[in-house]
Amino acid sequence: MSFKPLFEREIKAVLKNPGFLITLILIPLFYISLGSVMNIGVRSAVSQVSGYIGVVDRDDTPLSHLFVYYLNLTLDGRVSYANGTGELGSYSTIVVIPRGFQEMALNNSANLSTLTRINSLSLVSLGAIPPLALQGSFNDALRYALASFTLGKKIEIGNASLNTSIQLVYQGRVLDYTSVNTFVGYGILSTFIIGIMMSFTAGFATSASAMEKAEKAFELLLSQPVGRSRIVLAKIAASVVAAFIVGLVFFASLFVSVMHAAGFPGGQALPSGGAGGLGRPQVDLGGAVAFTAVTVFLGSLISGSIGVLIGGVVSDERTAGILVTPIVMILFGFTIIAEFIGVSLDAPTAVLSGLTVTPLPLLLSVSNIVGDYSFFYLALSLSIVELAILIGVAIKLYNSEIVITGLHLRKKSPPAYSS
């Protein structure tokens, strides 16, 4: 038999599969919507950087006046004086020049503090706050001001630069930028890990049941004197264990690869602090890692239950693989959404986080930052309820005849091989 008829048979079987057609519809719809959501995050970040800057001059000295003058020239007229930090609503950022600024600048130890309003705690928004982008402009304005101030005077000035302390205003609370960035970054990383692990588990659970049907071993398993509920729980547990083994190898390999690519020598500590000069925040690393492990386990159980349901409903491996693909892609989609727009402390976000599980660590990070855990507890409770419902539905499915016959979505089978 030549290759061509074999290829035509296989491609027709895939194209005629309703699951394949559903996937072709769902994936574009989801990712087009995802692009719109990402655009919202990018627009918000751009509007932050390009906004007007207010200055509160508490030093009120010739050098501070010159600094504001040159900063306004550097930023094309986007700088004006503000009466106080209470006017933050009229500006994207307020720069506070502290008392003693002139004396500190002449001694190469000048400080500034900034206050920036932020609408979402996402990596995109945090990475685009004006103080980070304006640090070079602050230094340039200070050098110009010092050059003008010391012109004709016997004052020697070294390489002047500013230490900028960055504070954020989110939902009426003043937050430390470095701590917020650390918490949100860890939440995003945990979200990525959970998305990967849930994808692995869903794939293993789906293929295990589908392969047993293809190998005609499923009927033999169900004929054994074992409760159907135990079969369901065993399949979920086995898929979770398999996913954890693969996940451990995957993340260990990824870590080693990143370390080699970055060229970090052994034992060298990464630099702490950032543009804010605020140092390393105090983070309960042990508690954060423990919760991430619990959430990974909970998410894996949920995706394993979904995989067992899909594997129990379909009648062949091909359909099982096609149906589990959009689930995996949607899980990664929510990870991307969380990175671009963050999560908010409200009921809709809590419900979505609870049902999809992947944003839970980020929701906990935001709850830690704000100090309000009510929506996180709501999301966690929904995840536990969802797991119980999925396991219950899977057990009921495995006690029915559908698990043996499967749902035949196609009216006709592919034509038999012919020579």
User: Tens digit of pLDDT for each residue in 167-214?
Assistant: 988 888 888 888 888 888 888 888 888 888 888 888 888 887 777 766
Q: Position of tokens 């030549």?
A: 2
Instruction: For residues 367 and 401, give the distance between their C-alpha atoms in angstroms, rounded to a whole number.
Output: 46
pTM over 0.95: no
Instruction: For residues 191 and 360, give the distance between their C-alpha atoms in angstroms, rounded to a whole number.
Output: 7
Query: Which pLDDT score, from 0 to 100, does residue 94 have?
Result: 92
Cα 37–chain centre separation: 13
User: Tens digit of pLDDT for each residue in 372-396?
Assistant: 889 999 999 999 999 999 999 998 8
Domains in the chain and their CATH numbers? 3-41+185-261+273-405 (no CATH), 51-170 (3.40.1710.10)
Query: Which pLDDT score, from 0 to 100, does residue 135 have?
Result: 85
- Pick from 192, 203, 228, 229: nearest CA to 337: 192
Query: Which pLDDT score, from 0 to 100, does residue 92 have?
Result: 85
3-class SS string, 124-154: HHHHCCHHHHHHHHHHHHHHHHHHHHCCCCC
Decide: 161 and 331 in contact? Cβ < 8 Å.
Answer: no
Give me the phi and psi of 117, to 5 degrees please: -80, 135
Residues of the chain with pLDDT under 70: 1-3, 6-10, 13-24, 26-27, 30-50, 152-160, 213-224, 226, 260-285, 315-316, 318, 403-419
- Pick from 8, 71, 18: nearest CA to 315: 18
Instruction: For residues 198 and 195, give the distance between their C-alpha atoms in angstroms, rounded to a whole number.
Output: 5
Instruction: For residues 85 and 61, give the distance between their C-alpha atoms in angstroms, rounded to a whole number.
Output: 19
